[in-house]
Amino acid sequence: KLQEGAIVKGLVKNITYYGVFVDLGGIDGLLHITDMSWGRVNHPSEMFKIGDEVDVKVLKYDKDSERVSLGVKQITDDPWIHATEKYAAGKTVKGVVVSLEDYGAFVELEKGVEGLIHISEMSWTRRIKHPGKMVAIGDEVEVKILEIDVENRRISLGMKQIEPNPWELLKDKYPVGTIVKGTIRNITDFGLFVGVEEGIDGLVRTSDITWDRKLKHPSEYYKKGDEIEAVVLNIDSEKQRFSLGIKQLTEDPWKIFKDQHNVGDKIEVEVVKVAEFGVFVKVFDTIEGLVHKTEFEDNKEYQPGDKLEVIIKSISDTDRKVSLSVKAVSDEENQKIVEEAEAVTEKVPEKLGSMAAAFKAAEEKAEEKPAE
């Protein structure tokens, strides 16, 4: 009766944490916990109690030592034999959560077949620190088969794949150039995180907040909780990056300035900052220009708030710098005076010449007149 492979009956005699001892009629056999079920067994008492009559399969029998190893699960086929067909990648199945770990949840698809939902496969948008935030032991869940490895008895499952990836839908919903509204959820050194949809934040980088290049930190303009408008700059679904811009809602003041001004133009500006090498002045909107001290009027000192008339000496697109001169205004005015004086000087001889010619003509006419 105790031939290896034989199925025999016995009575549960004793239960331990590692298995149960079964009386086979004069000799005891050990049914180890790992041989009780193809499924998960936490303790033998979950399946048996003392006095139970059980059918067991003889796995190994040592006549000399009279040791008998028994199995119950071996009476039925290994469920992994047909797992490849039943649980092919891409299929949607249901299962029960049987265990939670820091890195994910184990789901029983059938007795003896479990899969793992890694924490990264639970949600498209939520940042989950522990799977217990999403599921609990005993929950029935619908999952998608991501990968199956029969040899190592591993199945990778996904919960988030049951629903469409919202990041894939964003490009259609928010094409580049679309204006969106959202709430500032977080502020960092490099930008603003703006909640556009549930679980999806857009990033306004510091450089895209304002055309003013003097901005050092986003908190100078905004605070957490502020409602803002921004324009969609780019969406990278694969890397889950949603780029937004605030300054792009208005035209670049540098472009406006360039369209309206040329080198040599005379404009009025206001001093905003005094430095050793010159003064910075407000030229237009957020654009500042520099009047180098070599371009001051003689022995002139300037203070913030002073209004100046200046000539545009140069405009640099590369670094968006405007060079200005105060003394060029005086030079221009002096040149104008000189030119006007020269023009007057040129006209005087012409006038004298005209008068001489008139006198001469009168004399000639008088000579031609006959005497009475």
Residue 2 pLDDT greater than 90, yes or no: no
pLDDT of residue 173: 92
Q: What is the pLDDT of residue 372?
A: 44
* Helix (H/G/I), strand (E/B), else coil: 256: helix
Task: Please report the pLDDT score of residue 368 as a whole number.
Answer: 60
Tokens of 177: 């150039």
Least confident of 41-45, 61-65, 276-280: 61-65
Q: Using CA atoms, how far apart are residues 354 and 357, in angstroms rounded to an integer?
A: 5
pLDDT tens, position by position, 110-136: 988 999 999 999 998 888 999 999 999
Mean pLDDT of 356-366: 64
Burial of 155 (0-12, 13-18, 19+ CB in 10 A): buried
* Cβ-contact 195, 122 below 8 angstroms: no
d(CA 203, CA 228): 12
- Mean pLDDT (whole number) for 260-282: 94
CA-to-CA distance for 28 and 65, rounded, in angstroms? 12
pLDDT-based confidence at 347, cuts 50/70/90?
A: low
> Percentage helix, strand, coil, to 5, in the chain?
25, 40, 35
Q: 295: closest CA among 276, 307, 313?
A: 313
Lookup result for tokens 């990264």: 120
pLDDT over 90 at 270, yes or no: yes
Name the more confident of 363 and 283.
283
C-beta of residue 269 within 8 angstroms of C-beta of residue 310: yes
Report whether pLDDT(5) > 70: yes
Q: What is the mean pLDDT of residues 54-60?
A: 94
User: Does pLDDT of 66 surpass 70?
Assistant: yes
Q: Which of 219, 215, 208 is nearest to 248 (CA)?
A: 208
Burial class (CB in 10 A: 0-12, 13-18, 19+), 300: exposed
Q: Is 124 left (phi over 0), alpha (psi -120 to 50) or beta?
A: alpha
Half-sphere exposure of 61 (CA within 13 A, CB side): 14
The span from the CA of 112 to the CA of 150, in Å, is 12
Instruction: Report the Cα 74 to chain-centroid distance in Å.
Output: 53
Closest CA to 100 of 65, 141, 72: 141
Average pLDDT for 213-235: 94
Tokens representing residue 275 in the block: 């430095």
Average pLDDT for 248-269: 93
Res. 31 pLDDT band, cuts 50 70 90 = very high
Per-residue pLDDT at 142: 97
pLDDT at residue 26 is higher than 90:
no
Average pLDDT of the residues in 17-26: 93
- 91, 156 Cβ separation under 8 angstroms: no
32 pLDDT above the threshold of 90: yes
Q: In whole angstroms, give the CA distance from residue 66 to residue 214.
A: 88
Rounded to an integer, the average pLDDT of 340-369 is 59
Q: Average pLDDT for residues 76-88, to the nearest whole number?
A: 91
Token pair belonging to 73 = 């699960």
- The pLDDT value recorded for residue 235 is 94
Q: For the chain, how many residues are written?
A: 372
Q: What is the pLDDT of residues 152-189, one digit of tens each?
A: 999 999 999 999 989 888 988 999 999 999 999 999 99
Distance of CA 261 to the CA centre of its chain: 38
CB 196 within 8 A of CB 235: no
- Domains of the chain in sequence order: 7-75 (2.40.50.140), 79-162 (2.40.50.140), 166-249 (2.40.50.140), 251-366 (2.40.50.140)
